[in-house]
Amino acid sequence: MKRKIVKIHEEKCNGCGICVKACHEGAIQITDGKAKLISDIYCDGLGDCLPGCPEGAIEIIEREASEYSEEAVKKLQEENKSSTEKIVSELRQWPVQLNLINSRAPYLNGANLLVAADCTAYAYGDFHKDFIKDHITVIGCPKLDDVNYYKEKLINMLSNNNIKSITVVRMEVPCCGGIVSAVKAAMLESKTILPYREVIISTEGEIL
């Protein structure tokens, strides 16, 4: 159908973002430093975004365009609202560095233990929600620290506490294998049998 719709002249746009805030439907976003119309269906063609543009980079034209959809706009706004909600920390104890953990700390008894390589929390976006939640978390870097010390610390933790389960989260890089070896050796030497899970995170932040 032919209707009125926003046209953005990218060569004039300075990326200030005023139009993004002015558009009540959320039809405009900044991409690569320029304002862009996300989709025709989000633009009602009324031009709320025009007055605020300091560069005169926006105009209303008439062209063939998909019909404006209030339902699609509501869905987009809900998605945007969800993406901006504050992420709550799921951390249950302090400290978290394996080197600093007291092997007899009360919170270890009856815990589901998460043993994570340092980099994993930075690589994987939903780390708190998917891994830290409902776990006692210990972290370390097997490349920079003494893996044998890790093993001995873990043996003490397993021997002195009723650990319910162990989840190991490591990066895909070879140097991260040391943290897995330390956990498995500690379980073997402490003669501890419990549920064990190993998760590998790619350098792109995906679970492999």
pLDDT along the chain (208 residues), means of 10: 93 92 89 90 91 91 92 83 70 95 95 97 93 96 94 96 97 95 96 95 93
- Predicted confidence at residue 84, as pLDDT, reads 54
Residue 100 lies in a domain: no
- 68 and 10 in a single domain? The answer is yes
- Predicted confidence at residue 115, as pLDDT, reads 98
- 13 and 50 in a single domain? The answer is yes
- 116 and 185 in a single domain? The answer is yes
- 73 and 114 in a single domain? The answer is no
Q: For residue 133, give the nearest of 171, 81, 80, 87 by alpha carbon.
A: 87
Domain ranges, residue 7: 2-82
Crossing angle of helices 147-160 and 177-189, rounded to 10°: 40
Quick: pLDDT tens for 114-128: 999 999 999 999 999
Number of domains in the chain: 2
Q: What is the CATH number of the domain that holds 23?
A: 3.30.70.20
- Predicted confidence at residue 87, as pLDDT, reads 74
